Amino acid sequence: MKIGIIGGTGFYEMEGEEIEIETKYGNVTAIHLKKWQRDIFFIARHGKAHAKPAHMVNYHANIMAMKNIGASAVMGISTVGSMKKNIRPGSIFIPSDFIDFTKRKTTFYDDVAIHVDLSQPFCPVVRGVLLGIAKNAKEGIYVATEGPRLETKAEIAMLKKFGDVVGMTLVPEAVLAREAGICYASLCLVSNYAAGLQERLSIEEIKEMYRKRKPIIEKIVNEAIKKIPARRKCRCKYAPIEGKL
Ligand code: HPA
């Protein structure tokens, strides 16, 4: 079984063989390794040197690379800002849903009308595995913003009426995974309170939090690799077929 991991750089690095995966959206560098008799493919979302900011990430190439290599399940790892006092920095957050405030292209299909169902936006099986491992994780709604700037206080005051955390990378990644028929779930580290919930935000603080919490994320991902069932009983793989007009 092949499992993909898309990680925020610095967050989760893996030792393995570096490979190049070709896609029609561009080539993607991945790390291939074996764990618990499973083939693991790790892609650093922002590129090797964290060069690409969130709005410049080649989400289409990353997900297509996972599809081309044959990954049936992908875990996306990222940091988020909390818009709720009870979701503290340092917590693990597993989104149950999202709202998209980005301005990005969120489809692979330009020439055929495919309307994938997102009433359950994450794979219930992979998400269930993550929730089973990360017992203290918070759940809720992820609001996706365009970035690369952080939000204003007024924006957060509005967005917190809709969701619980804010981040820049879940969309279009989760949507493209569904369009590709890949089981996808998101694992987030809350790195800070969002604008207005704390005085000032610094990137150093965000980086420091993931440095501190990296071992926890690695532990959850390692366990998940072992526990994701090889037989797919969810409907994720049928999404592009069922969504065709
Ligand atoms: N806003 C948007 N994205 C983020 C934040 C934030 O406060 N923290 C980490 N990613």
Protein residue with least CA distance to atom 5, ligand 1: 81
**What CATH number is associated with residue 84?**
3.40.50.1580
Q: Which of 92, 206, 209 to mutate to test the pocket of ligand 1 (most atoms within 8 A of CB)?
A: 206
Distance 82 CA to ligand 1 centre (A): 8
**Atom 3 of ligand 1, residue of closest alpha carbon:** 167
DSSP states along 107-147: -S-SSS-B----SS-S-HHHHHHHHHH-TT-EEEEEEEE--
What pLDDT, in 10s, does the model give residues 128-160? 999 999 999 999 999 999 999 999 999 999 999
Residue ranges lining ligand 1, Cβ < 6 Å = 79-81, 145, 150-151, 166-168, 191-192, 194, 206
pLDDT in tens, 194-226: 999 988 888 888 888 988 999 999 999 999 999
Domain interval for residue 167 = 2-242
Query: Which pLDDT score, from 0 to 100, does residue 185 have?
Result: 98
Which DSSP string do the residues of 176-234 spell out, in sequence order? HHHHTT-EEEEEEEEEEEPBTTBS---HHHHHHHHHHHHHHHHHHHHHHHHHS-SS--S
Residue-by-residue DSSP string for 14-58: --SEEEEE--TT--EEEEEEEETTEEEEEEETTTTTT-S-GGG--
How far, in Å, from the CA of 117 to the mean position of ligand 1?
27
> 71-123, pLDDT tens digit by residue?
999 999 999 999 999 999 999 999 999 999 999 999 999 999 999 999 999 99
CA 58/CA 28 separation, integer angstroms: 9
pTM of the complete model: 0.96
Domain count, the chain: 1
If one residue of 168, 190, 197, 201 were mutated to test the ligand 1 pocket, choosing by the most ligand atoms within 8 A of its CB, it would be 168
- Cβ-proximal residues to 237 (8 Å cutoff; 6+ apart), any chain: 72, 181, 182, 183
Which atom of ligand 1 is least distant from the CA of 194? Answer: 7
Q: Which atom of ligand 1 is nearest the CA belonging to 145?
A: 2
Over the chain, what is the mean pLDDT?
A: 94
